[in-house]
Amino acid sequence: MKYLSVALIALIMAGCGPSSPEMTATADMAMAETQTAAPTSTPTLTPTSTATPTSTTTPILTLTPTLPHEAPGIDPGGMPESANSLFFESTPMFTFNLGGSVKVNYIVFLEIKKELPKDAILEVHFQNPADPSTAYVVVVTDLTGEKIMVESKKFPMSNFECRNYWIDVHIYADRESIYELGTHVQWTSSSFC
Q: Which tens digit of pLDDT belongs to each residue from 66-102?
A: 566 777 778 777 788 899 999 999 999 888 777 777 7
pLDDT at 89: 96
d(CA 142, CA 149): 11
Its pTM stands at 0.64
Domain boundaries, the chain: 1-37+45-54, 56-189
Q: Which tens digit of pLDDT belongs to each residue from 111-149?
A: 999 999 999 999 999 988 888 888 999 999 999 889 999
Compute the C-alpha angle 121/184/142, nearest 5°. 25
Of 122, 125, 110, 138, whose CA–CA distance to 175 is shortest? 122
Q: What is the DSSP letter of 157?
A: G
Q: Which tens digit of pLDDT belongs to each residue from 18-49?
A: 444 443 444 444 344 334 334 444 444 454 44
The residue among 96 and 2 whose pLDDT is bigger is: 96
Residue 167 has pLDDT above 90, yes or no: yes
d(CA 101, CA 191): 18
Query: For the domain bounded by 56-189, which CATH number is listed?
Result: 2.60.40
Residue 179 has pLDDT above 50, yes or no: yes
pLDDT at 141: 92
pLDDT-derived band at 157 (thresholds 50, 70, 90) equals confident
Of 107, 193, 108, 109, whose CA–CA distance to 157 is shortest? 193
pLDDT at 148: 94
d(CA 185, CA 108): 10
Of 107, 172, 184, whose CA–CA distance to 141 is shortest? 172
CA atoms within 13 A on the CB side of 54: 15
Of 135, 141, 86, whose CA–CA distance to 115 is shortest? 86
pLDDT-derived band at 193 (thresholds 50, 70, 90) equals low
Region 3-26 average pLDDT = 43
d(CA 22, CA 77): 43
CB distance 186 to 164 below 8 Å: no
CB distance 154 to 14 below 8 Å: no
